[in-house]
Amino acid sequence: MGTEQPPTTVHRDDLADRTDAVRSAVPDAAATPGPVVVPPQPVPVLGEDLLVLGLDVGGTTIKGEITDASGTVLAAGVVATPQGAAAFETMGALGDRLLAELTDDQRDRVARAAVLLPGIVDPVRSIAVFSSNVGWRDVHIGDRFTRRWGMPVLIEHDVAAAGWAEWRYGAGRGHDDVCVVILGTGISGTLSVGGRLVRSGYGQTGEYGHIPVRHADGLRCPCGNIGCVETVASGAAIARAYAQRTGHETASAADVFALLDTDSDAKAVVGEAISALADGLLGLIHAGCPELIILGGGLAGAGAALTEPLQHTIAERLRVVPAPRVVLGEFGARAGLIGAALFARQGALR
């Protein structure tokens, strides 16, 4: 997964199509009788001697690994992500290649796989509903990977699995109330309350990047709204704001953070980004009262230059609920792959 984000940023003329795609993915109990969606049976946790295959599908690359129970990587690969439904053939081929690298004994011990997908995902019906970045819509995955690889294959949303992994096994382990924020090209994340992962009715996770925080004077977001968090606090937004302010282009937000000690313009741009991110998280903090906010994704590479001022800004603005600690994720750019492996091994986002 790395800095790859689910394609929550769509053009305004795509918004109605996306809404229709979401609605079509959710069974309507009041609708006329049709095919019944049977909830999946509980999937058992795998034994310590068994191996798993995990794929993390992003907008630019597909990463795959085969790991054992300790997390040791036995085979790994990365390929470019093709546009459209062709990406699913590439996923299958990458899985084939990784399995072929194993010994016969290791191959016999690969018991389950997990494929993490961006965009809107219906894991119950095994459908990749919509991805604007990769360009697929209503792809029925069904048992194509199960038949191809000869094992059970689970499908899940990439940020859901990555955030769950950071909460359960990474920086959030031992805490019941945790918000994971993935910061990169876009901004999204997960929320766990009372020891349970909060999911929408159609399985999505937190679209934190599309919370409007600059209504009066903000930039128009590609989603159609004005002043969304992503327009100020995403990696792309920080690099863009610095270029507009100084006339000097930077390759990424990391370059802007690197200038904080010597450049007042960089300090101002990063300060505004942190302020907008804090504003976007305040409602979530009041509603869920997380103990921890865990930062992941490419922008989290800024380290204390991001966590410390964000912690301070959030604490300054809270009055009736305690301020959560802001920490870095433990898994970094590998959160998606680790999430895929753990999901495959556990059988559910437990």
* Residue range 90-143, pLDDT digits in tens: 999 999 999 999 999 999 999 999 999 988 899 888 999 888 778 899 999 999
Dist CA 151 CA 212 (whole Å)? 44
Confidence (pLDDT) at 288: 94
Say if residue 13's pLDDT is above 50: no
Burial class, 298, CB count within 10 angstroms (exposed 0-12 / middle 13-18 / buried 19+): buried
Contact yes or no for 234/240 (Cβ under 8 A): no
* pTM exceeds 0.75 for this model: yes
Q: What are the pLDDT digits (tens) for 134-165?
A: 889 999 999 999 999 999 999 999 999 999 99
User: How large a percentage of the chain has pLDDT more than 90?
Assistant: 74
Contact yes or no for 52/113 (Cβ under 8 A): yes
Other C-beta atoms closer than 10 Å to the C-beta of 95 total 25
Q: Tell me the two tokens of residue 13.
A: 């003329």
Across the beta sheet with 178-183, the strand order is 196-197, 187-193, 178-183, 292-296, 325-328
Contact yes or no for 4/58 (Cβ under 8 A): yes
Dist CA 262 CA 12 (whole Å)? 39
Dist CA 102 CA 39 (whole Å)? 34
Q: Alpha-carbon torsion 226, 230, 236, 240, what sign? A: positive
Residue 27: left if φ>0, alpha if ψ -120 to 50, beta else—which one? beta
Contact yes or no for 320/287 (Cβ under 8 A): no
